[in-house]
Homo-oligomer: A and B are copies of this chain.
């Protein structure tokens, strides 16, 4: 880090189906909560970074940076970032650079998405914008299909069984019961996961994160201090098309971003107490814990089988919290802060990726009151 950056405030809507709320009202709700939480005024915000992927497709609305800035009385400068489901992470990275550059002292980051007001086939097609429109989409793949391929290959390489995979979504659902902002606050047994309808073999309905509406906002500052320091911000990319990957059971962008983030924070995987990772599908959680260095290749399921010193997706993850795509990367940091405050531990990490991790972003938070 090239400056001391503090997370001074955060707020979010509950993720879910918000047919009566627009992109504007969702942003407003999250932003207002973040400003209140930070104990600053709106006028203290120097710059706004909006994360959004699907505004054009689902709401005919681009230009969300300016729209978010208009929710503040002084209309600060603003921009919108997009990197598919990693839009939140790249927004945080842009905000970090703005703060480190000295151009801004206090930056508002808001991730927002509306997905439930339009037909499912439209959302599925729009989400395929995260893949390669020339090299992947013509095959007829949608993202459940992409991760169905990942799961099939992973099971082939490592012998993971369907019964073991059931544990992942079940654990996320159990975790979400105590999260008031989660879309699905009900426990689901491993057996129920395995008995849910097939979507893209071997993935079943309860392996898949849902479509969701929601917004999450946080305020980063070099001017005002807090109990939570941003210790690392790292972005990495990979080929967008699956056809250009050497493997699909590990994502190079996640590995590279993790390596850089750990170096930036001067810690290692063993120092972490809380991780929120990108379980867009159950199999992605296993790949990700391995890419983050929390488990050896093929051994990710062990983290879910044994209680450990480390919590993974204690919020409920994308599966149970919901996944309004660009809001997810912002919301993960909100949950990590909450978890660090509750446990009084020092280190937590948020891992967010887009597509099949053609973009990965990792942010590490340090609890200064640990």
Chain A contact residues: over half helix, strand or loop, or mixed? mixed
A61-B133 contact given A79-B90, A97-B101, CB 8 Å threshold? yes
Quote the shortest CB–CB distance from A280 to chain B (angstroms): 14
Assess whether A63 is interfacial by the CB under 8 Å rule.
yes
Assess whether A102 is interfacial by the CB under 8 Å rule.
yes
B354 near A66 with CB under 8 A, answer yes
Assess whether A76 is interfacial by the CB under 8 Å rule.
yes
- For A2, list chain B residues within 8 Å (CB): 101-103
Q: Residues 340-370 of chain A: 1 if any B CB is under 8 Å from the residue's CB, otherwise 0?
A: 0000000000000011001100000000000
Q: Which residues of A in the span 111-160 have a Cβ within 8 Å of any Cβ on B?
A: 125-126, 128-134, 137
A83 near B100 with CB under 8 A, answer no
Among listed A29-37, A232-240, A285-293, A294-302, interface-contacting one = A232-240
A129 near B97 with CB under 8 A, answer no
Quote the shortest CB–CB distance from A32 to chain B (angstroms): 18
B65 near A359 with CB under 8 A, answer yes
B101 near A66 with CB under 8 A, answer no
Q: Which residues of A in the span 47-101 have a Cβ within 8 Å of any Cβ on B?
A: 53, 55-57, 59-63, 65-67, 69-70, 75-84, 90, 93-94, 96-101
Which A residues are closer than 8 A to B by beta carbons? 2-3, 22, 24, 53, 55-57, 59-63, 65-67, 69-70, 75-84, 90, 93-94, 96-103, 125-126, 128-134, 137, 234-240, 244, 354-355, 358-359
- 21 chain-A/chain-B pairs, Cβ below 8 angstroms: A3-B101, A57-B57, A60-B128, A61-B133, A63-B82, A63-B129, A65-B359, A66-B84, A66-B237, A66-B355, A70-B237, A75-B237, A75-B238, A75-B239, A77-B235, A77-B236, A77-B237, A78-B359, A79-B359, A80-B82, A96-B103
